[in-house]
Structure 1
Amino acid sequence: FPNRTHVAAHTCLTHRTVKISIIAVLGAVITLGNVAVLLVISSSVAGWSRNSRYFLLSLTAADSAFGLLVMPLNLLVSLLKDYTEGPDALCHVVAFCNSTVYSTCMYTLASISLERYIAVFYPLQYSTLLTRKRTLLLIAFSWCFPPFLLMPISFPQGIIEVHFSTASLVCNPSYSTNVGYSLSLTCFIFFPCSIVMTYANLRVWCAAKRQRLKLRKFDSARSSRPNVAARVLVPVMAAYYTCWTPCMAVMIYNAVSGSSVPEWIEFVVVWLPTCNGFLNCIFYFWINQSFRRKFRLVVQRMALAACPELAGTLGYCGNSKTQFVSGILDNNNGIHERSSSVSSTCTLLSLA
């Protein structure tokens, strides 16, 4: 029996080390990807309107919170907490932060889908329906409503019990003891956001497909153009449901059945939504040609600013370097921002 206990403890320690390594690597990848995005969209990008940039900045901030807030807090608890101890105030705070960031990310994704739906189907009324004030209010709702809804999780002596899971290394609410509240969270967060995203993106995809078929009838050369709608909308929705559905399904299963899933399944489904924070960088930004062009210009500017000798090597001396850098910025920022309606319509309907 002592040997079996020693082997079990060694196996548990090995699993814990592997899980911490996976979380650390995933957090670093998410943080680096979103920092690069912030460097680019903090200034104007050709073809992106002000409202679109606001929504995308909100999404990037929410995704960055996975790597800068959620993962460090849970790793800190997993390293400091004695597993024999019960729930404490720190675990409640961490669980509240986890749920808030997850919910904010879903609301932000739904807001982006709604903005693009309005831009495509109501281009003439876009500036009236989605003013700057309404855009900021919608973003504020995405960030303020989840903390308000999830506030009971943060109270140590509240109605929601919180425990630290050794399987997923996360402070989780005990949904099995609060079935009604668990189901209400999915009804107010996951299902509404999923419905908005699915409806909006499906309508836009169908409109783009119909327009593409019309273009083929009038010009056979159009058929050789890439299907922009399928390349963007389909991966976005596939990544969303792949990352979020297993987590919600396991949460509902635990609440209804009162039992837990196997260790590694729980670990995967709990941390799978954070992968969406990195996939969003790819689907919303890196496959966009304007974003890649602006990213190269930003990197050139940073390289020239950090290494003046590089400018001399490339043949830019004295004020030439300054002119070169300012020329890069003026060339990009001098472009008048088109409205989101025109940008989205040209991209998704004309496929130009």
Structure 2
Amino acid sequence: MNSTSTDSVGLSPVLIALRTCFIAIIALLIISGNILSIAVTRRVTSLADSTKVLMTSLAVSDLLVGFCAVVSVVASALDSWPLGDVGCEVVSILSSICFLMSLLSIVGLNIERFLAVTRPYKFPVWCSRFRIQTAVIFQAILSLCLSFVAKFGFNVPLQFDNTLQICEYVNTPLLMHMSNLLIIVIIPTLLMSYIYYHLIKISRQHEQRLNQNGNNEAINNHDNKALKTFLVVTLTFAGCYTPNLTLETLMSLSGVSAPGWLQFLFLWLMVSNSMFNVIIYCLFNKVFRQTAKKILSERFPCCNRSIAPVEIGF
């Protein structure tokens, strides 16, 4: 394995500075956003314990992605890889584990919401804190195993890509690209489609019953807003990951390399997914939003403004 860069893109100092600032902003937003997400999730009391565990797991995974992105900031500023061969291996494997953990946490959140709606009486037993914590540990072990299988099973060397500013596998076989597309996009998309098809069907049945009882104000109040939040999280994940994974598969199939700027944008769009979840939570969850404002006002008194009391519920 050689951690020296691939063909240099020959950027001017101004473009290198702009590229570095771009990556630095993404890394900063990922780290600060997920630290805030963890703090808010711990403080909010209206969330189920199982939901809090899975949201925390997702935030921790995304936070580690942010720390990996910091290494790319340094590499971009230097226009070369600073950590040598071992560092290239470690950062690459850690990034793979974090991406897989994020995916599994999102799938877990959707399955947990599915059980909460379809099995409300059995949900507290099936999704107890201990069981969800055990599931998160299993997710971490599975992510670790899959990352090592991808690295050592395909026996593909790593190399720093000066276009993408990351360490990536060189001459990756088509089977590996298709496996990534299948595991990360196709299978989760089919699973999520199945889950939300049934959840929307159940939601409409509840709506019809409420309409018959004349209780229009209560329609789609708590459960539907929670489902909407995690649906947007899922769609955002798919929207950020699909372009890059699809482009890599198409390049492997055709043998034609896409423009460097397009590869760069799609790769960092995938990485930037880790900064969007806290924004989605704040947009769709009033409790989360108000609690986040309260925490920020406590940490930064100079920016303190009048904050409405924290309300319970969505």
Give the TM-score of the pair, scaled to structure 2.
0.80
Specify the alignment match of 2:191 in structure 1.
196
Secondary structure of 2:160's counterpart equals strand
Specify the alignment match of 2:69 in structure 1.
71
Note if contact 1:114-1:196 (Cα within 8 Å) is conserved in structure 2: no
Specify the alignment match of 1:251 in structure 2.
248
The sequence identity of aligned pairs, in percent, is 19
Deviation at 1:152, TM superposition (A): 5.1
Specify the alignment match of 1:109 in structure 2.
106
Deviations 1:123-172 (A, max 9, x none): 111123223332112111222212211125666x9811222222221111
Specify the alignment match of 1:293 in structure 2.
290
Deviation at 1:276, TM superposition (A): 1.9
Corresponding letter in the other structure for 1:148: C
Change (3 A) 1:213 1:154: same
Match of 1:228 among 210, 225, 230: 225
Secondary structure of 1:160's counterpart equals coil
Corresponding letter in the other structure for 2:90: V
Determine which structure has more spread, i.e. the larger CA radius of gyration. 1
Give the TM-score of the pair, scaled to structure 1.
0.72
* Matched residues, number: 299
Note if contact 1:247-1:273 (Cα within 8 Å) is conserved in structure 2: yes
- Structure 2, unmatched stretches of 5+, are 1-8
Matched, 1:182 2:177: yes
Q: Which has the higher contact order (CA 8 A, sep 6+)?
A: 1
Corresponding letter in the other structure for 1:56: M
- CA distance in 2 between counterparts of 1:223 and 1:47 reads 18
Specify the alignment match of 2:3 in structure 1.
none
Q: Which moved more, 1:95-104 or 1:289-298?
A: 289-298
- CA distance in 2 between counterparts of 1:38 and 1:124 reads 28
Match of 1:160 among 156, 166, 171: 156
Alignment of 1:135-154 (within 5 A): 135-151=132-148
- Structure 1, unmatched stretches of 5+, are 1-7, 315-327, 336-342, 348-352
Deviation at 1:286, TM superposition (A): 4.3
Match of 1:134 among 131, 143, 154: 131
Note if contact 2:41-2:52 (Cα within 8 Å) is conserved in structure 1: yes
Note if contact 1:208-1:229 (Cα within 8 Å) is conserved in structure 2: no
Corresponding letter in the other structure for 1:289: K
